[in-house]
Chains A and B, each alone.
Chain A
């Protein structure tokens, strides 16, 4: 039965550790870019670091949330349970769960990457990961503002098409990644 298949790890570094050495290499490359920027415009590099400090301040609560979510995923979700709700055998329930989770999820996208990586290792389908990430484009708390700028008909249509393409994109990702 397909629901009992062991989860396939994502390819590359993601399948082993979250980032592993790759994360540090990425940070080193970005640090190198700062060094390069400082060579040409020391002041701009300094301003960038100030912007970074501001962004970091905003991100710390989200990182706390990531830590809590990772802990809960590891504690409560067994590969069997993830396979049941978001794995190959999850069917329509899996799609609805992924879309709903995407729409209600808030916070920075890398928080979602980190949690999705854990869920993937426990058996979540790539198609549902892609659908969830796409459905994050519907920002529930910001919908009133979208209505204010663009009108209710436009907002309703946009949300409809975003969700439709979340499913379509998920199906294509599933076709490529899961076959």
Chain B
């Protein structure tokens, strides 16, 4: 392969990478701050309202949560065992991995503000829809 082309590609890649670094650092710093300031945000006591309100709360919490998906499974399992509805838990699980309020600035900077806002808004609504559809279709599977 042409050495000149390799140099060009490497230069372009490094410039892109350096521009990404402050976004990544900012996102990690923001996540760390939120995790430290609000460590006990989630508990079963928060739930207990009508199903739609619990699902909305689950979606909202999942949307601002910044931990790995594994945490949402463990947390969802715990909430379910404490009597929180499957509707709310599903909304939490789905929004946890599809909506990223904390990541929104990074997504907007890299993919465009309109794209990021619209995508996250759609994901917020679809988390509620998936929770409802899962609860509706699960009994059909026995």
Contacts and interface: CB of A to CB of B under 8 A. Distances in A.
Contact of B97 (A18, A27, A113, A137): A137
B26 A14 contact: no
Contacts, number: 204
Interface residues of B, number: 65
B17 A113 contact: no
Interface residues of A, number: 73
A23 interface: yes
A26 B122 contact: no
A87 interface: no
Contacts of B97: 136-137, 139
A110 B29 CA distance: 14
A74 to B, nearest CB: 5
Given A74-B13, A150-B77, A154-B134, 11 more contacts: A11-B112, A22-B109, A44-B36, A48-B29, A48-B35, A52-B29, A71-B9, A75-B6, A118-B16, A134-B98, A169-B122
Interface of B: 6, 9-10, 12-13, 15-17, 19-33, 35-37, 69-70, 73-74, 76-77, 80, 86, 90, 93-94, 97-98, 100, 103, 105-115, 118-119, 122-123, 126, 129-130, 133-134, 137-138, 141-142
Interface of A: 10-15, 17-20, 22-24, 26-27, 29-31, 33-34, 37, 44-45, 47-49, 51-52, 55-56, 59, 63, 66-67, 70-71, 74-75, 109-110, 113-114, 116-118, 120, 126, 129-130, 133-134, 136-137, 139, 142, 145-146, 149-150, 153-154, 156-158, 161-162, 165, 168-169, 172-173, 176-177
